[in-house]
Amino acid sequence: MEIAIIAHDGKKAEMIQFLMDFKALILAKEISLISTGTTGKNAEKAGFKVAKFLSGPFGGDAQIAARVAEGKTNMVFFFRDPLGMHPHEPDIAMLMRLCDVHDVPLATNPATAELLMKSL
């Protein structure tokens, strides 16, 4: 199973805490993590193996959206900052739209991501 992890700057600490909370499950289920650049670097510093793509504003969201469309990514955890302005909003909207089109579970906050992880 491949799970994409993405977090806006103000949510990166929450993402790392979430991953730490579910580290045992991630390892037990042999979940492959992919991520946008900076989120991936933070996850690696916390001890996770992550395949990193470009940073979100430089096309990372679009790269992950392509993997969703190709059927390679099974779940997306995108901890968004709903109060911030993001120059790559069209890429974010595309990723969310493709999750809907391809029926890929998408969690935009830790509470929803937790429910998805507990369903595994």
Which are the catalytic amino acids? 61
Residue 83 pLDDT class (50, 70, 90 cuts) = confident
Listed range (2-16, 31-45, 83-97) with the worst mean pLDDT: 83-97
The Cα 40–Cα 35 span in angstroms is 5
Listed range (25-34, 83-92, 108-117) with the worst mean pLDDT: 83-92
Mean pLDDT calculated for residue range 59-74: 97
pLDDT in tens, 1-17: 999 999 999 999 999 99
- What is residue 63's predicted lDDT score, i.e. its pLDDT? 97
Could you please report the per-residue DSSP string of 32-98? EEEE-HHHHHHHHHTT--EEE---GGGTHHHHHHHHHHTT---EEEEE--TTS--TTHHHHHHHHHH
Give the CATH H-level superfamily of domain 2-118.
Methylglyoxal synthase-like domain (3.40.50.1380)
